[in-house]
């Protein structure tokens, strides 16, 4: 997956986590913080794109290496959570019970967002890396074991991208509406909206699973044809926006590298 898909799927997870807080009427972490954390950490495993040899299979210096493992996601999530805990202690915050709940929500947000990135890379082609080292440091025949590379979808997918962009817009508006209703003591209505946000986002994961299972990546040319046909169906304006955004992203990526 490319950052746009990962980013908005991360937002989707953030919307679910915040809505769960709303449902239980205990907001430990604000909406903006959850969205920032879930979005950034959903793309964070691709940080290995900016150091070492992009095409290397070395898990420490190449792309799709150690940063695409459950261990890395877990360790970094714990480290960030502990860092926030130490900052809180340094500031002498009094509400320790609430603080623990806040840290738990932050950890869950970071961990799930990072895991979503790892999982979404599995159905892509194995390419030069031979998959990703999900269970690093597990090894096989003297090499770190890799899995995935199922070639169900290509390196990018406009259908998934636009689904989650629209889903974020809908979820965002619903959550804003629930906050307004809660402000005016319409707690039951706010709770119903929170449930709706959770169900809508969970339904999108079922759709994504089925969509990926129905897809089949043959080669780059075939996938480009499939994706361009999808953009044609969306219309010239959406197609132009999508392709221009992709062009800008690639230009920035190559410039940074």
176-187 pLDDT, tens digit per residue, is 999 999 889 899
pLDDT given for residue 55 in this prediction: 83
Query: Is-above-0.95 flag for pTM?
Result: no
HEC-encoded secondary structure of the chain: CCHHHHHHHHHHHHHHHHHHHHHCCCCCCCHHHHHHHHHHHHHHHHHHHHCCECCCCCCCCECCCHHHCHHHHHHHHHHHHHHHHHHHHHCCCCCHHHHHHHHHHHHHHHHHHHHHHHHHHCCCECHHHCCECCCCCCEECCEECCECCECCCCCCCHHHHHHHHHHHHHHHHHHHHHHHHHHCCCHHHHHHHHHHHHHHHHHHHHHHHHHHHHCCCCCHHHHHHHHHHHHHHHCHHHHHHHHHHHHHHHHHHHHHC
Task: Tell me what pLDDT residue 94 has.
Answer: 54
**Mean pLDDT score of the chain:** 92
Looking at residue 93, what is its pLDDT? 61
Percent of the chain whose pLDDT exceeds 70? 97
Give yes or no for residue 153 having a pLDDT over 80: yes
- pLDDT at site 97: 59
């Amino acid at each position: 997956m490319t950052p746009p898909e990962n980013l908005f799927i991360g937002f989707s997870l953030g919307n679910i986590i915040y809505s769960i807080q709303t449902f239980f009427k205990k907001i430990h972490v604000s909406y903006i913080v959850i969205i920032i954390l879930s979005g950034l950490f959903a793309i964070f495993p691709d940080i290995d794109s900016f150091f070492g040899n992009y095409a290397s299979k070395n898990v420490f210096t190449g792309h799709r290496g150690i940063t695409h493992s459950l261990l890395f996601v877990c360790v970094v999530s714990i480290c960030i959570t502990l860092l926030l805990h130490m900052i809180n202690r340094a500031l002498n915050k009094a509400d320790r019970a609430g603080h623990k709940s806040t840290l738990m929500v932050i950890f869950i947000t970071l961990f799930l967002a990072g895991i979503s990135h790892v999982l979404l890379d599995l159905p892509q082609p194995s390419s030069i890396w031979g998959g990703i080292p999900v269970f690093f440091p597990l090894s096989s025949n003297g090499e770190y074991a890799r899995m995935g590379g199922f070639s169900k979808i290509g390196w990018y997918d406009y259908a998934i991208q636009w689904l989650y962009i629209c889903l974020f817009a809908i979820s965002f508006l619903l959550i804003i509406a629930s906050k307004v209703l809660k402000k005016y003591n319409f707690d039951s209505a706010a709770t119903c909206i929170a449930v709706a946000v959770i169900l809508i986002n969970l339904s999108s994961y079922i759709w994504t699973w089925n969509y990926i299972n129905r897809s089949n990546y043959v080669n780059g040319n075939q996938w480009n044809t499939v994706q361009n046909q999808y953009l044609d169906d969306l219309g010239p304006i959406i197609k132009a926006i999508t392709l221009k955004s992709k062009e800008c992203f690639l230009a920035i990526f190559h410039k940074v590298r």
